[in-house]
Amino acid sequence: MHDSPKVWLQYDQAALDAAYDQRAWCPDMPDWLARYRAETEAARAALRPQALSYGPHLLDLYPAQGARRGLHLHLHGGAWRANTRDDAGFVAPALCAAGFEVAVPDFSLLPAKCLPQVVAELRACVGFLAPHGPIHLSGHSSGAHLAAVLATELPFASVTLVSGAYDLEPVLLSARRDYVHLSAEEAHALSPIRHAARIAAPVLIAWGTAESPEFIRQGEAMATATGARRFVLQGAHHFATPCALSSGPLHDALVALAGQGTP
């Protein structure tokens, strides 16, 4: 009996596919996704965000409470192919209470659009929000990847990346290649770890100890490449990690980066 050939580091194909399939690491994933949506509905009811159009999409703009610290733009996860702003506004209440306006946008999903088109939409979103003042950027999972790509191209006041994949080479060797279609040149351009020196903003990077080892490795590698401050979330799986944006050391650190008042 022969061992299966390795396709990435120590992984054979089945193991690499599992490393990028969150269902293998969080069997109660549907419960967490339902929680995201229920808590977003509650945030909308409490804060009554404006629904604003940028290009073909909408974003929810939640109002700041108290002394304003700037605008926080948060990008949802979903493996680049799922979820909307309806699933990501749960981060807003704590950030609004800390003085941020919070923008949570919709954007196109794969495979209906390709990844370079999604990045172009989000560049336009950043331009649309620029009049609101300094932008603090965050993202979770595939949203962290998109946030990191934007941070290599555009100026931000701070960047907070939670449970992302920052090198697309192993992603494209996994089963995700069935819907993430990129040329070699595009994959290089959209692997922010390859361009980390371009990120001028202070960076915070977080991951959970109960995540896939590949997501932990990706977070550690990106933190090393950027010199980011690291937040290792003990016992947290992939779907619990974005809750750290709302309370605890990661939340406190991103609020501290914003300082006090409107510049």
Distance of CA 235 to the CA centre of its chain: 20
Counting the structural domains of the chain, the total is: 1
pLDDT category at 12 given cuts 50, 70, 90 is: very high
Quick check: is 198 in a domain?
A: yes
pLDDT at 1 over 80: no
Per-residue model confidence as pLDDT tens digits over 171-182: 999 999 999 999
pLDDT category at 263 given cuts 50, 70, 90 is: very low
Tokens of 101: 């306006």
Per-residue model confidence as pLDDT tens digits over 199-239: 999 999 999 999 999 999 999 999 999 999 999 999 999 99
pLDDT category at 66 given cuts 50, 70, 90 is: confident
> Side by side, which strands form the sheet with 57-62?
50-54, 57-62, 100-105, 70-75, 135-140, 158-162, 203-208, 229-233
Quick check: is 189 in a domain?
A: yes
In CATH, what number is assigned to the domain containing residue 152?
3.40.50.1820
Quick check: is 263 in a domain?
A: no
Quick check: is 29 in a domain?
A: yes
Structural domain range at position 94 = 6-258
Quick one: pLDDT at residue 262? 38
Quick check: is 84 in a domain?
A: yes
Quick check: is 176 in a domain?
A: yes
Percentage of the chain lying above the pLDDT 90 cut: 95
Tokens of 260: 């006090």
Per-residue model confidence as pLDDT tens digits over 105-127: 999 999 999 999 999 999 999 99
Quick check: is 161 in a domain?
A: yes
Element containing residue 263 per DSSP (H, E): none
In the chain, the N- to C-terminal Cα span, in Å, equals 66
Quick check: is 1 in a domain?
A: no
